[in-house]
Amino acid sequence: MKYQKWIAWGSLVAGICWGILFSYYAIAQSIPDTIRIERGETEDFDFHVPITAELEQEGMEVFGNQSPIVDKDKITLDLNRSFSLKSQQQGNYFMSCKLFGVFPMKAVSVEVVEKEKIVPCGVPVGIYVKTDGVLIIGTGSVVGNDGMNYEPAVNLVKSGDYVKTVNEQMIANKEELIEKINQSQGEPVILGIMRDEEYIQIKVEPVMTEENDYKLGIWVRDDLAGVGTLTFYDSQGGYGALGHPVSDMDTGLKVSLSEGTLYEAEIAGLTKGEKGNPGEISGVITYLDQYKLGSVEENTSVGIYGELQRTPEENQENQYYPVALKQNIEKGEAVIVSTVSGERKEYGINITELDYNSENKGILFQVTDPELLDLTGGVIQGMSGSPIIQNGKVIGAVTHVFVQDASKGYGIFIENMLQH
């Protein structure tokens, strides 16, 4: 009986601890890691959490339903009450948050940025990128000229490694890698590899095959291509697309690129999204100079970026929209811009949840437009990058589809894409 009481007390204490930890996490998540305000504009905030925050005072004005405490170079705010911030000085500020004014919780970066206007696109583009080094996607066995199976590279190289050199000589593509291996005549080779941003050297002994060539037993790739959606471009000709990285289909890892090209793409067909099958856009890319749109210079966790040589035909009107920061986005009605029908159109959605701290899944929405639901079932692969517009402002872009429910999707905040 005593033993059962101890178990009951232990369960109660554990439950209380878990409840406290969960509440602590939920409160911390309700405040963005980064708050951005436009220079010269008053931005309103209403977190309703029992947190006291200390904000650097220089150049910052505070308004609202509270009387902030000003002490030398800091302003103390009660985040359980609404407040407004304004600054005429572009720059970064630091805000320290404490639960109940006692327990340190998190540090928040407050950035004062210039107002931005961009052209939302929503048109399909072909993406071609070359990897920075030869990407290893896996290892396998090699049949030697003696008929035996060998695995010369197993447990030495890993999926996601990039081969940069062979015997300290630079290579640019898989053809050069094959050439260097054959030149070894079976002698061990030193592979210079980038692994998790660290350069290492690995010795591997090639195997002579029945065809009298030499192999390491590795599967490699040096380029990728696919169809996505152009999100926006700015007045300087810079663009952003996808809202998530270009990843290798086999490893699932973000690709390290050396260079890339953006092309026009033509939608060839649509596979409607169904439960368990996310659906997709099938596109045709013509790799000719007259179809080039621009360069691909960066592959990041929040999209791909580069410079446009020319604007897509669907965006010739160059209509600029202001950008909405996170705190100005509301749950409720919005639209996504897409060309899945062959014509650039707006389709209605309903924003159901907002997660200010998510990198590229901060907007959860449900497709409500009957035409889009009939055409695609909702969100399908290839629509990543489709702009999201609310109240006349660009607020984000589509990034992910729900595999079990194509009518639901995730989006990234446009400010995350612009601050990549």
- Contact at 8 Å (CB) between 311 and 305? no
- Other CB atoms within 10 Å distance of the CB of residue 157: 23
Tokens of 321: 């929209």
pLDDT for 64: 72
- pLDDT, tens digit, 9 for 90 and up, residues 309-330: 998 887 777 899 999 999 999 9
pLDDT for 101: 86
206 and 237 both lie in a single domain:
no
pLDDT for 352: 98
Residue 14 lies in a domain: yes
pLDDT for 169: 96
> How many domains in the chain?
5
- Contact at 8 Å (CB) between 382 and 115? no
274 and 255 both lie in a single domain:
yes
Band of residue 16 on the pLDDT scale cut at 50, 70, 90: low
Residue 132 lies in a domain: no
pTM of the predicted model as reported, rounded to 2 decimal places:
0.88
- The CATH code of the domain that includes 69 is 2.60.40
| pLDDT of 200 over the 60 cut | yes
pLDDT for 58: 78
- pLDDT, tens digit, 9 for 90 and up, residues 134-151: 999 999 999 999 999 999
Residue 135 lies in a domain: no
- The CATH code of the domain that includes 360 is 2.40.10.10
156 and 203 both lie in a single domain:
yes
pLDDT for 410: 97
- Who contacts 19 (Cβ-Cβ below 8 Å, separation ≥6)? none
d(CA 119, CA 316): 10
| pLDDT of 299 over the 80 cut | yes
Q: For tokens 């079990």, what's the residue?
A: 404
Residue 133 lies in a domain: no
Q: What angle do CA 134, 183, 150 make, to 5 degrees?
A: 70
| pLDDT of 65 over the 70 cut | no
- Among candidate residues 216, 241, 272, the one where a domain is terminated: 216
38 and 14 both lie in a single domain:
no
Mean pLDDT in residue range 157-185 = 96
Q: What angle do CA 288, 127, 387 make, to 5 degrees?
A: 125
Q: Give the closest residue to 394 by CA, choosing from 339, 319, 343, 306.
A: 319
| pLDDT of 3 over the 90 cut | no
d(CA 89, CA 86): 9
- Among candidate residues 216, 233, 262, the one where a domain is terminated: 216
Residue 209 lies in a domain: yes
Band of residue 391 on the pLDDT scale cut at 50, 70, 90: very high
Instruction: Provide the domain limits for residue 170.
Output: 141-216
Q: Side chain identity at 258, as an amino acid letter?
A: S
Residue 253 lies in a domain: yes
Q: Which of 13-17, 346-350, 370-374 has the lowest mean pLDDT?
A: 13-17
- Among candidate residues 270, 300, 315, the one where a domain is terminated: 315
- Contact at 8 Å (CB) between 27 and 51? yes
| pLDDT of 420 over the 60 cut | yes
303 and 228 both lie in a single domain:
yes
208 and 257 both lie in a single domain:
no
57 and 92 both lie in a single domain:
yes
| pLDDT of 384 over the 60 cut | yes
Tokens of 393: 């402002």
Tokens of 108: 């928040």
pLDDT for 286: 92
pLDDT for 22: 52
Average pLDDT over the chain reads 91
189 and 268 both lie in a single domain:
no
Q: Give the closest residue to 188 by CA, choosing from 220, 156, 146.
A: 156
d(CA 158, CA 160): 6
| pLDDT of 374 over the 60 cut | yes
Residue 39 lies in a domain: yes
| pLDDT of 180 over the 80 cut | yes
State whether residue 332 is helix, strand or coil: strand
191 and 106 both lie in a single domain:
no
pLDDT for 30: 83
Residue 20 lies in a domain: yes
d(CA 94, CA 111): 9
Q: Phi and psi for 49 in degrees, rounded to 5?
A: -130, 150
